[in-house]
Amino acid sequence: MLYQNDDFGKDYLNGLKAGLGDQAAGMIVAEASYEVSDPIIDSQILKIKDAGADLLFSASTTKQAAQTIKKLGELNWHPTHILDSVGAVTKPAGLETSKGVISVSYSKDPLDPTWKDDPSMKRYFDFMAKYYPEGDKDSGFNAYGYSTVQLLVHVLKQCGDNLTRENVLKQATNLKNVQLDLALPGILGNTTPNDYRVNKQLQMMRFNGERWELFGPILEDTGAS
């Protein structure tokens, strides 16, 4: 496992170990961390390769995620590569080099032709054309921003006329089956006072050299682990 040496990366590491349970010690053959300020992460990749890993889980942000993909290509090393961050990584790393990388998603990709006639995607494109015409409508960052604001509007409407801090928090932690425009079909937003996570469902996806393709069923984190 490659991870960023901060709370972001360590949460992934701890979560992976918790999920694997008693098998973690035998399955994780190497752990390598990096600092955000590190200019390159070549030594970390080599450490994992030399350990004989056949699967690489990369809990990295955009820069290091792209570096990892590129380095694997330079080494001609092709482990199963699971990536947590997919924002703007495939082009810098090289589209062909990125082919086969696996990640997860809970939202529709504006570049995916599957959604070209989808009414919800059309609403997003109309929004971009009206309010941000100079913006990149195909950008996952802009799509994420649209979904975030849509969720905020939902919370504010749920608050009614009571916009105190206490009520905003109460409503934000009591979301029930919220369907956002760009959420994948079957994925609903739910929160509780004890669980602030809006997205607890996801679907696997794989980069085909041009775009991400969804595969498999909707997976749900029940919190059982």
50 to 11, 23, 30, 58, 129: CA distances (angstroms): 25, 21, 9, 16, 50
Tokens representing 82 are 């699971």
Per-residue pLDDT, 222:
63
- pLDDT below 70 — which residues of the chain? 86-87, 222-225
Per-residue pLDDT, 27:
96
Residues in the chain: 225
Q: Which overall architecture, per CATH, does domain 2-106+200-220 show?
A: 3-Layer(aba) Sandwich (3.40)
Over the range 132-166, which residues count as b (16 or more CB within 10 Å of their CB) and which as e?
A: eeeeebeebebbeebbeebbeebbeebbeeeeeee
Per-residue pLDDT, 111:
87
Q: Where in the chain is the domain with CATH 3.40.50.2300?
A: 2-106+200-220
Residue 82's CB is within 10 A of a number of other CB atoms, namely 16
Nearest to 90 by CA among 140, 37, 49: 140
Task: Name the pTM for this structure.
Answer: 0.83
